[in-house]
Amino acid sequence: MVKASELGILADPSKFTEPLELGGRPKDVLISLLEMMLVIRKVEECIADLILEKKVNCPCHLAIGQEAVAVGVSDNLTAEDKIFGGHRSHSHFLALGGSVSGLLAEVLGRSTGCSGGMGGSMHLFQPEKGFVGSAPIVGGTVPVAVGAGLACQKDGKGNIAVCYFGDGTVEEGMVQESFNFASRFKLPVLFVCENNFYSSHLDIHLRQPSDRISRFAEANHISSQIVDGNDVVKTALATRELVESIRGGNGPGFLEAVTYRWRGHVGPDENIDVGLRRKKEDLLAWKKRDPIRRLKDGMLQANMITNSDYCSVEDSVEQKINDSLEESLAAPFPEESFLLSAVYKSEKDLS
């Protein structure tokens, strides 16, 4: 039994497939948004291939199809902000300017990875870009991000904490605690829910009485916006409004970005019919709401770029990824001594 969608047409993949409206954003900004989405897509496609080639063995949760969310959100962040992710966070990491070779080396388990080869895909770290960390326990980083928001509030410099999570995360008790906690202390935290309708294999309608996640923001008096998460321009704009308010000391904000992942919960395949209700035709329909193609078409229509401009961006992204991959494949695995020396800080200092 499929319940009615409270999200309405945002949940209907036959809608929002046309070229993007560009919102008056300048050409150079739009090109950088486009390029960043391409970086994410192509890095993740590269990782999918590496899994099939058995060069990558750690569990990888790919966000292909969801690129616009991280890119639109990051458009409003600085390296002084404190950003946290979950199990599916390659896009969040890369959208902040996280190192491509750092990510590839990390999923390959190499010591040059962003987490020294100790983390793999689910534990990413690049604090100098604002990415404080990702961790895969569902909801686990939400309280941590709230604490980073508390630190930002105490610092008083206008920085904010950001926490990315999926629609399944609001089913966790500590996440509900975190919403209340952030609201009670008016903490500068942006909660970003990537609502892709699935938690692992299970459809949202089989998990919750409503598919509209931002109802939890309302319950906690947190201002919220719901956007088409496959529209990078609208996502960036909605984030901007929330972030301005958060930086202004008005307490937390909540962005619900409606999107869809093209691959399965984990690994490179599409998970057709693994999940209940995840049908081939749904996936094909959602692929028509492709965030990259829509921005490209919008820019072509506005005569901002030509097809050949697009191809040259694509080529340069691919070149960069190939170079990073080559470098990462040549890098060593972690030293055996790291098994024990990284457990405690002072122990590490002794080694």
171 binds other proteins (CB under 8 A): no
Task: Give every CB contact of residue 192 below 8 A, 6+ residues apart in sequence.
Answer: 69, 73, 162, 163, 164, 165, 239, 255, 257
84-103: contacts with other proteins (CB under 8 A): 84
177 binds other proteins (CB under 8 A): yes
| Residue selected from 5, 180, 200, 210 as contacting other proteins according to rule CB under 8 A | 180
* Contact assessment for residue 35 and residue 259, using Cβ atoms and an 8 Å cutoff: no
Strand partners, 193: 165, 256
Other beta carbons within 10 Å of 107: 28
Nearer to other proteins (CB atom), residue 155 or residue 269: 155
Residue 109 φ/ψ region, left for φ over 0, alpha for ψ in the -120 to 50 degree band, beta for the rest? left
Question: CB of residue 181 vs other proteins: minimum separation in angstroms?
Answer: 4
| Mask for 250-289, x = binds other proteins (CB under 8 A) | ----------------------------------------
181 binds other proteins (CB under 8 A): yes
| Mask for 101-140, x = binds other proteins (CB under 8 A) | ------------xxxxxxx---xxx-x----xx-x-x--x
Termini Cα distance of the chain: 59
| Residue selected from 22, 31, 79, 174 as contacting other proteins according to rule CB under 8 A | 174
Q: Which two tokens stand for residue 33?
A: 């948004």
Total residues at interface with other proteins (CB under 8 A): 50
Question: CB of residue 127 vs other proteins: minimum separation in angstroms?
Answer: 8
What residue spans of the chain are helical by DSSP H?
27-52, 67-74, 90-95, 100-107, 141-155, 173-184, 215-219, 232-247, 280-287, 291-301, 307-329, 338-341, 345-350
142 binds other proteins (CB under 8 A): yes
Q: How many residues does the chain have?
A: 351
How far CA 113 is from CA of 21, 39, 123, 198, 338, in Å, comes to 38, 17, 11, 29, 14
345 binds other proteins (CB under 8 A): yes
Question: CB of residue 140 vs other proteins: minimum separation in angstroms?
Answer: 6
Question: CB of residue 42 vs other proteins: minimum separation in angstroms?
Answer: 25
342 binds other proteins (CB under 8 A): yes
Kindly indicate which of the ranges 20-28, 45-53, 171-179, 313-321 contains the residues binding other proteins, using the contact rule CB under 8 A: 171-179
184 binds other proteins (CB under 8 A): yes
> C-alpha angle with apex 223: 217 to 229, nearest 5 degrees?
80
Sort 154 into a burial class: Cβ within 10 Å, 0-12 / 13-18 / 19+. Answer: exposed
Question: CB of residue 116 vs other proteins: minimum separation in angstroms?
Answer: 3
| Residue selected from 4, 9, 52, 151 as contacting other proteins according to rule CB under 8 A | 151
| Residue selected from 161, 233, 236, 304 as contacting other proteins according to rule CB under 8 A | 161
* Contact assessment for residue 299 and residue 22, using Cβ atoms and an 8 Å cutoff: yes
Question: Percentages helix, strand, coil for the chain, rounded to the nearest 5?
Answer: 45, 10, 45
Nearer to other proteins (CB atom), residue 266 or residue 342: 342
Q: Which residues of this chain interact with other proteins, rule CB under 8 A?
A: 82, 84, 113-119, 123-125, 127, 132-133, 135, 137, 140-152, 154-155, 161, 173-174, 177-178, 180-181, 184-185, 338, 341-348
